[in-house]
Amino acid sequence: MNLMKQEQSRGLSGMRASAIALAAVAVVLLAACGGGEKKDKASQTAAKVNKEEITVHQINFVLQRQQGLKPEQAEAASKQVLERLIEQELAVQKAEDLKLDRDPRVVQQIEAAKREIIARAYVERLGESAAKPTAEEVSKYYNEKPALFKERRIYSLQELAIEAKPEQIPEIRAKLQAAKNLAEFAEYLKASDIRFAANQAVRAAEQLPLASLDAIARMKDGDSAVTSAPNGLQVLFLVGSRSQPVDEARARPAIEQFLSNQRKSELVVKEMKAMREGAKIEYVGKFAEGTPPAAAAAAPAAVTTPSPVAPAATVATPAAPAASGMDANTISKGMGLK
């Protein structure tokens, strides 16, 4: 009998020991899980501003919007972004203390920003459905744009924006035709007390307006082109150029991007037109007076200009080819350059 009690006692003790051991393991696992959550949460916190946290996700969101950021610059940039976010958070907290977030003007701005973000998200989603260009379409574009690729040149350009009265223009044109070079023509303008502004730049073919590129490509070194301006004339001189062609293989990625963005833009314009036609739009008050404006076409979407030698530059597609040459602003900036 005593032996049986001893065996039972040993069994109960073993069960207790096992239970205690299992409980201990469970506690350790729970602690480990809880600690992991705290550690993970802490790792996502970059700074605390009073009771509010600034997270790594917020910093990464800002960094993603910075184009051209190199990997080796990321750490320094993230620290700068964090400092800006700290100052922003301080300003937000102070504004909330002053109830500025309830100011009607602020509320209106928030709602306007919200509508813009949502509308842009729809446009981007719509653009994703555009068909990608085929290899044949890329080759066709390459062959149709020799000035951009096969016959690509680097241009050294000078421009004169001349202020002149209508009665002075015939003589100015005649002097330009007779002048041996730009310097001689500029001396005539100075001697005649004709005001002008000069600009000069070196631009590759893809850095020039697409609407003007073909006309410039037909010019020879030393040629000039004259166009009318609201207050006079604009004279473009091709001082010199050098050939620097690009083969199709090198140009392919940029062409694909250009054609893809062009299709997205066309798709958005088409869809917006269809939505306007299918919606009931009623002009009210003074906006109903006279003939209601026609359905406005969507603003030119940002498209990517094929850049065979550099990352594609984002510019707005011109609505129609320009009738004139380039103005001073175009010369100084170039297409897609700031």
For the cut 80, the answer to whether the pLDDT of residue 264 exceeds it is yes
3-state class (DSSP) for residue 328 = helix
Structural domain including 95 reads 80-129
Q: Give the residue from 243, 276, 296 where a domain finishes.
A: 243
* Contact between 224 and 176 (Cβ < 8 Å): yes
How many domains are contained in the chain?
Answer: 2
How far, rounded to the nearest angstrom, does the alpha carbon of residue 273 sit from its chain's CA centroid? 24
Q: Does residue 13 carry a pLDDT above 80?
A: no
- Does residue 188 lie in a domain region? yes
224, 243, 262 — which closes off a domain? 243
176: its two tokens: 């330009």
Same domain? For 183 and 230 the reply is yes
DSSP-based three-state secondary structure for 122? helix
pLDDT tens digits along 200-213: 999 999 998 888 89
Quote the pLDDT of residue 291. Answer: 56
State phi, psi for 204 to the nearest 5 degrees: -80, 165
Please report whether residue 30 resides in a domain.
no
Whether the CB-CB separation of 126 and 270 falls below 8 Å is answered with no
CA atoms within 13 A on the CB side of 333: 12
Residue 225 domain-assigned? yes
Cα–Cα distances (Å) from 257 to 182, 221, 245, 248, 263, in that order, read 39, 32, 20, 14, 10
- Tens of pLDDT, residue by residue over 77-132, are 999 999 999 999 999 999 999 999 999 999 999 999 999 999 999 999 999 999 99
State the CATH number of the domain containing residue 219: 3.10.50
According to the model, what pLDDT value does residue 183 have?
A: 85
For a pLDDT cut of 90, what percent of the chain falls above it? 55
| CA distance linking residue 234 with residue 53, whole number of Å | 57
SS3 222: coil
Check whether 21 has a pLDDT greater than 80: no
Phi/psi at 103 (nearest 5 deg)? -65, 130
- Does residue 51 lie within any of the structural domains? no
Q: 222, 243, 264: which is the final residue of a domain?
A: 243
Q: What is the pLDDT of residue 152?
A: 95
163 found inside a domain: yes
* Residue at 122 is within a domain: yes
Least confident interval from 33-42, 147-156, 180-189, 320-329: 320-329
Q: What is the largest CA-CA distance in the chain?
A: 135
Same domain assignment for residues 123 and 159: no
Helix (H, G, I), strand (E, B) or coil at 45: strand
CA dihedral 252, 254, 258, 264 (to 10 degrees): 90
User: Taking the CB of residue 58, how many other CB atoms lie within 10 A of it?
Assistant: 18
Write out pLDDT tens, residues 23-81.
Answer: 333 333 333 444 445 445 557 999 999 999 999 999 999 999 888 888 889 899 999 99
Inside any domain, residue 234: yes
Q: 267-315: per-residue pLDDT in tens?
A: 999 999 999 999 999 999 888 876 555 544 444 444 344 444 443 333 3
pLDDT tens sequence across 150-180: 999 999 999 899 999 899 999 999 988 888 8
Q: Is residue 114 part of a domain?
A: yes
